[in-house]
Structure 1
């Protein structure tokens, strides 16, 4: 049983710190193991090939360049660390959840646990959409300028940094419904507030999409805006459901009191 679930009189502050320390150590160990697995995936199992494949049509039969003898190793290492963080994220989230769960109400737990599973699906959906649709369109747009004057010499480091930023950005922003669902379950936001801020949300989504997608405004940026606006509307629906249940539970608790 977690220390947070005991009687407050039996919970010295140092016990909280001890539990937090162990959960942080388990999370760190998971990241290290994930990075080792990520290194194997990148170096031995075609993960690098998948990331390079979108730009291959533009290389005209050539290969990506590198400028330093250490570049291939450090690129592999950075990708391994990113893969390690992604692979270890379920364990890290579980450790955070185990530390915080005893302080939550049963009704809040019933909402947050499914939300975490939904978050995994949404993250993967954002990454797949970015890889299959947005990244190829971004490359076609950005590499179509001044081709009669410039000769390409694409370096592996900057290319991989751009690709991983784009994939992770889409994965993270697709977590919007999960964030709003959890905030609604905790009573920090309401569907009325979200609906009243719809225009502000659309403006913020437009700016975010323009920053994260360096491509044609009519195509690439709009392709990120459209799902984000839909996800925001979906978030309002989820917030209504969760808030209604929370208010019913609070009314029932008040009647019993």
Structure 2
């Protein structure tokens, strides 16, 4: 464009780069969701069988379906979720490629470990929920079962419960990453976090009681310990980041 000013060209180039990166993200999502749906539709991945594992010990028969389209909806939701997981490396790489030129060197050193840590902690939180929290919660609910009534869970409601609890735990396990980013930006100080250790312990206990209502004291304690452990990890990470940030600022001032 001959009539464009030098200030306009970089902006137009950024728009063009953003357009191509969004196109690559959309393409990765389409491929991931499409492949996942084919695998589910061809019975290579039995989503209902996998997600119903925690409830099987409590059932006297199979779960029921109340609407013909429920299984299709579950298959689509699972395909979208698996597609997002499969395409997440491409999505993260494209976002990083677009934002990294605008970041300082010390900021890049913080963002990359934060992204990796966020992914790992999110998966660990979901795994803990699926393998431990959901079975404990179901054991509590089924303890009220009577011989006069047969519990017959519907597939859509049960799988909705599974997904919501797994996502909730995955989000809770992001606490160290959030604290790390806030510490890197200078918003949170480790001394402030250390001061409220007792409050955090009570908060973790309350959160564990809310997530697993009516669980026995042993189960409640076993769930509170990792939640509070995440808070202690957050304090340690905050200290390390603040020290590195102070050294970087001192070096830049010198």
TM-score band, normalised by shorter chain: 0.7 to 0.9
Figure out how many residues of one structure are paired with residues of the other and give that number: 247
Aligned-partner Cα distance in 2 for 1:159–1:116: 31
Q: CA deviation at 1:213?
A: 3.2
| Distance (Å, rounded) in 1 between the aligned partners of 2:30 and 2:209 | 34
Q: Does 1:55 align with 2:55?
A: yes
CA separation in 1, counterparts of 2:36 and 2:85?
9
| Structure-1 residue corresponding to 2:143 | 144
Give the aligned partner of residue 195 of structure 1.
194
Give the gaps of 5 or more residues in structure 1. 1-7
Question: 1:241: Cα distance to partner?
Answer: 0.8
Deviation at 1:14, TM superposition (A): 4.0
Counterparts of residues 56-135 of structure 1 (less than 5 Å): 56-60=56-60, 62-135=61-134
Deviations 1:130-168 (A, max 9, x none): 222111111111111142342112100001100111122
Unaligned runs of 5+ residues in structure 2 are 1-5
- How far has the Cα of 1:200 moved from its partner? 4.6
Task: Give the alignment's TM-score, normalised by structure 1.
Answer: 0.84
Q: Per the alignment, in what secondary structure is the counterpart of residue 65 of structure 1?
A: coil
Q: 1:249 to 1:90 in 2, by over 3 A?
A: same
Q: Which moved more, 1:221-230 or 1:175-184?
A: 221-230
Deviation at 1:183, TM superposition (A): 2.5
> How far off is 1:237 after superposition?
0.5
Distance 1:93 1:203 in 2: 35
Report if the CA contact (8 A) 1:180-1:235 is conserved.
yes
Rounded Cα–Cα distance in structure 1 between residues aligned with 2:229 and 2:143: 31
Q: Is the partner of 1:44 in helix, strand or coil?
A: coil
CA distance in 1, matches of 2:31, 2:213: 34
Distance 1:185 1:96 in 2: 20
Question: 1:216 is paired with a residue of what secondary structure?
Answer: coil
Quick check: 2:136–2:212 contact (8 Å CA) kept in 1?
A: no
CA contact (8 A) 1:134 1:223 kept: no
| Contact 2:145 2:151 (8 Å CA) reproduced | no
With structure 2 as the length reference, what TM-score do the two structures score? 0.85
Q: Deviations over 1:20-77 (max 9, x none)?
A: 33333322322222222332454422443221121111222x2111011111111111
Looking at structure 2, the residues matched to 245 and 200 of structure 1 have their Cα atoms a distance apart, in angstroms, of 27
State the superposition RMSD in angstroms: 2.5
